[in-house]
Structure 1
Amino acid sequence: MLIFFKERLALLSVPKTGSTAYFKSLRDRADIVVSGPPDLKHAPVRRFDRFFQNIFLKMYDTELEVMAVVREPLDWLGSWYRYRSRPELLGHEKATHDLSFDAFVQGYLRTPRPAFADVGSQSEFFRTRSNGRGATHVFRYDNQQAILDFLQDRLDTEINLTRENVSPKRPMDIAPQTERRFRKIHAAEFDLYDRAR
């Protein structure tokens, strides 16, 4: 998470949406840098609103706008699937080396989810409190130019991105019936993505 006080902007870090590249490029420009632990670095909208936003409201009588990125739901799951096939995870309960993408998605659809597929949800990340404002600016991951343009304009700075945290390449085949079931059960994920710019 990065907070730019003068610009009244918070950039939240949704896991697996390329936030590490923006974090690395903008950390020296930010007023507050939250790089860990993961529960704070990747604080969802509700947690940000409850704790961080309240600080600015109570101390400075100002509210920050919130920016975040959302990824197409199956692509987002695919990124988790590939990420968890890194060599250093071999033998770990979260490893996906011996799984197909279809098996990974089927695991995600189970209740409770097995450890390898327990990755949360983007719609849950964006869920607001009953009295919260929520995210002000939500961009699609596949519209990197819009993200870049917005941040460069808002922060009045040039941003030079590098590729960070790149997952291994793997086949992403999924059976039609698995995809249909995922789309039906997790329609909220697609609604969120469709509303993003």
Structure 2
Amino acid sequence: MMALPDYGFVLLALSKTASTSLERTLAPYASLVISSPPGMKHLGASGFERKIAPRLAESGHERGSYEVVTMFRDPVSWLESWWRYRARDGQEERRPDKSTAAVSFEDYARSYIAGDRRVPTPRGRPAKFITVDGLIGVDRILAVERPDVWQAYFSERLGRPLEFERRNVSTAPVRGELTDATRDALREHLAPECTVWERLAGSGEWAGARGTPLAVPGRA
């Protein structure tokens, strides 16, 4: 999470959406950077409103004076990115309990849908990350697959051209095949995320998202 209220925005770091690359470029301009522990680095909209927004208000930045922004990606691609990241070289030796090297993406996706904690699937979900009490709690959502859009947004905010490097990229082989039935089941499970993703289609961003109802199931 990075706060750049002097430039009119705060960036919430949804996992697996280029947050490491963004931090490397934007951190020098930020008045607040939280890069650890993971629970604070990837603080969602609800946590931001409780923990960080009051701190910014105390320093003269009321909530309405800046946008809260987050990146988003295709929901199936988001889950596949987690699976590939945990299958990266050396992970099985370092943390066998966290490795997916021996797990197919088909089985990984089914475990995620079922909430099976024996497989190291992510415990959260993007829709929960962006919501507060059933409403979207961020002002602007940017599609990570549209760098032309989000790079232009951040460059405009900072008033200078910015370059973003690809960081923290998985070295695991691409083998994320799903059967049609599992893909359909996964998209049904991630229906709130798919709703947001469909809203991003075309323009690559959703400005004014805050306050939109978004029903999010409680489990994973």
Superposition TM-score tier, normalisation by shorter sequence = over 0.9
Aligned position for 2:52 = 52
Q: What value does the CA root-mean-square deviation take over the aligned residues?
A: 1.8
* Gap regions ≥5 residues in structure 2: 206-220
Q: Which runs of 5+ in 1 are unaligned?
A: none
C-alpha contact (below 8 Å) 1:101/1:172 kept by paired residues: yes
Q: Which residue of 2 aligns with 1:176?
A: 180
Asked if 2 retains the 8 angstrom alpha-carbon contact of 1:69 and 1:139, the reply is yes
Q: If the length of structure 2 is used for normalisation, what is the TM-score?
A: 0.83
User: How far, CA to CA, are the matches of 1:29 and 1:9 in structure 2?
Assistant: 11
1:187 aligns to 2:159 (yes or no): no
User: 1:108 is matched by which residue type in structure 2?
Assistant: Y
- 1:71 paired residue number: 73
d(CA) in 2 for partners of 1:112, 1:99: 13
Matched residue, 2:103: 99
Give the drift of 1:163.
1.4
Shift of 1:61: 5.7
1:129-156 residue CA offsets vs partner (Å, 9 max, x unmatched): 47x8711110111111100000100111
Identity of aligned residues (%): 25
* Mapped contact 2:14–2:126 kept (Cα < 8 A): yes
Post-superposition offset of 1:113: 3.4
In 1, the alpha carbon distance for the partners of 2:105 and 2:57 equals 44
Corresponding position: 1:164 with 2:199: no
Give deviations 1:72-125, integer Å, cap 9, x for gaps: 011111110100012232052121101111111011111343341134211111
- For 1:23, the equivalent position in structure 2 comes to 23
- Partners of 1:171 and 1:141 lie apart in 2 by 21
Q: Partner of 2:147 in structure 1?
A: 144
Farther off after superposition, 32-41 or 109-118: 109-118
Which residue of 2 is the match for residue 82 of structure 1?
A: 84
Report the more deviating stretch, 37-46 or 89-98. 89-98
Are 1:73 and 1:189, in contact at CA under 8 Å, matched by a contact in 2?
yes
Q: Does 1:116 align with 2:84?
A: no
Structure 2: how far apart are the matches of 1:33 and 1:72?
26
Partner Cα distance (1:111, 1:34) in 2: 29
Change (3 A) 1:114 1:194: farther
User: Residue type matched to 1:20 in 2?
Assistant: T
Amino acid at match of 2:127: S
Q: How far did 1:31 drift?
A: 1.1
Name the CA shift for 1:88/1:160 in 2 (closer, same or farther; >3 Å). same
Residue aligned with 2:6, SS: coil
Asked if structure 1 preserves the Cα contact closer than 8 Å seen for 2:108 and 2:119, the reply is: no
If the length of structure 1 is used for normalisation, what is the TM-score? Answer: 0.92
User: Which residue does 1:62 correspond to in 2?
Assistant: 62
- Deviation at 1:47? 0.3
